[in-house]
Amino acid sequence: MAINRDMEALGKVRSAIRDLFEYGNQRAAVIGRENVFDYSLGNPSVAPPQQVTDTMLELLSTREPVSLHGYTSAQGDKAARTALSDDLNRRFGLSSDPDSFYITCGAAASLTITLKALSCPGDEFMVIAPFFPEYRVFIEMTGSRCVVVPPDFDHFQINREAFQAAVNEHTKGVILNSPNNPSGAVFSEETIREVTAFLKEKEAEYRHPIFLISDEPYRELVYDGKQVPFLTKYYEDTIVCYSFSKSLSLPGERIGYIYVSEALADHDDVYAAVAGAGRALGYVCAPSLLQKTIAECVGLTSDLETYRTNRDLLYNALTEYGYSCVYPDGAFYLFFKAPMESSQAFCEKAKEFELLLVPADSFGCPGYVRISYCVSTDMVRRSLPAFKALMDACGK
């Protein structure tokens, strides 16, 4: 039977994270949910702000249902795009235009649409390790090459030498993700200035744009007043891929956007290519009810207090037990070096203590481990002795 073998292979490869999640469900059936310390998935554990629920209820009870649930224009309702633009202008001092926004079904859609819009035969897109593993799938789906820049193990910023060595005349774009999944690191202004200055030089040398694709679903998930530099202010050829999955705890509702910076070379053509890619990929439009909801709720953020508490508990305790952790300024992930050579073997061992941890090999960072701490604080507290026992069992 002739089918697309690449797609078949993709459908058959089970994600390590999903496998772990399934394993957790099986263990929960045997020993009880409360005895499994599942740190596998990045599913927000705090409720959306009450205003999100209230807005949806009000829309459902007061708006005329045919138009409420009808198709919107492909790029999204003008009122919603205006609200998105106003929000960025207010918070980051931009002067963006609603017509530069394209509303999507979340960050995954924002990325696949953007990559499809930009990709030409022979192109390369760079990702910075550690990176969200789906980037490789999204890039290769377009026929382009995924080039991995190895990690900066000292600070989990960007490995300057490796980054500069990887840029070449085939480089079409660079995906940056800050706050980062899986490291929790936030790229500093210094890092951003350095990267963008280098890319500007290379754009001039190669005489074509190198696009920065800023994947920022965790933009608002930062602690202790940490600032996340907004990339359009540093680099003209920037496309922002945003999602409300994490900031408003709405991952299953599928809503986000693409913002094509007005400063970008050939802005109108690139925006048209984004719209064309959304069409070619069959998105039609983002969910209508959610578009109308975010028009009212953009700028709000779920309560971050639980994540901050969990971060502090885990970082402090694990560091005390001897784990070497990256200090997470944002997102809801804690990243640490496995106290064994193989992070896979370590995560297998962790299962003996009912700890479900993700080896970071698929994030381009072998030897490291990711914890998703978007879980209940009660579970975090109860799991700490297991982390200690695990470290003891590793003989450290």
- Applying CB under 6 A, the residues found at the interface with ligand PLP are 42, 106-108, 132, 177, 181, 215, 217, 243, 245, 251, 256
How far apart are CB 246 and ligand PLP at their closest, in Å? 7
Q: Interhelix angle for 288-297 vs 78-92, to 10°?
A: 30
Which CB atom, from 43 or from 82, has the smaller least distance to ligand PLP?
Answer: 43
Nearer to ligand PLP by Cβ, of 107 and 326: the residue is: 107
Burial 75-84 (b: 16+ CB within 10 A, else e): bbbeebbebb
Following CA atoms 133, 135, 141, 145 in sequence, which dihedral angle do they give, to the nearest 10 degrees?
-100
Q: Cβ 328 to ligand PLP, closest distance in Å?
A: 14
Angstrom CA distances, 5 to 20, 133, 136, 280, stand at 26, 20, 17, 21
Closer to ligand PLP by CB, 127 or 295: give it.
127
Helix (H) or strand (E) holding 99: none
CB 245 → ligand PLP: shortest distance, Å?
Answer: 4
Compare residues 36 and 255 and give the one whose CB is closer to ligand PLP. 255
What is the chain's length?
Answer: 396
Q: Which is nearer to ligand PLP, 55 or 245 (CB)?
A: 245
Q: Nearer Cβ to ligand PLP, position 251 or 278? A: 251
Minimal distance in Å, beta carbon 134 to ligand PLP? Answer: 7
254: phi then psi, degrees, rounded to nearest 5 = 60, 80
Q: DSSP character for 247?
A: T
CA distances (Å), origin 142, targets 9, 139, 175, 243: 16, 6, 15, 21
| Beta strands, E only, 171-237 | 171-177, 211-215
Closest CB 218 distance from ligand PLP, rounded Å: 7
Shortest distance (Å) from residue 341 CB to ligand PLP: 27
Q: How far is the CB of 157 from ligand PLP (least distance, A)?
A: 16
Bridge partners for 47 per DSSP = none
**Which one-letter DSSP state was computed for residue 395?**
T
Task: Indicate the residue type of 166.
Answer: A
Q: Which of residues 77 and 215 has its CB atom nearest to ligand PLP in the complex?
A: 215
Q: Considering the complex, what minimum distance in angstroms separates the CB of residue 226 from ligand PLP? A: 17
Nearer of residues 87 and 97 to ligand PLP, judged by Cβ: 87
Alpha-carbon distances, residue 18 vs 22, 25, 357 (angstroms): 6, 11, 12
Rg, the chain, Cα only? 21
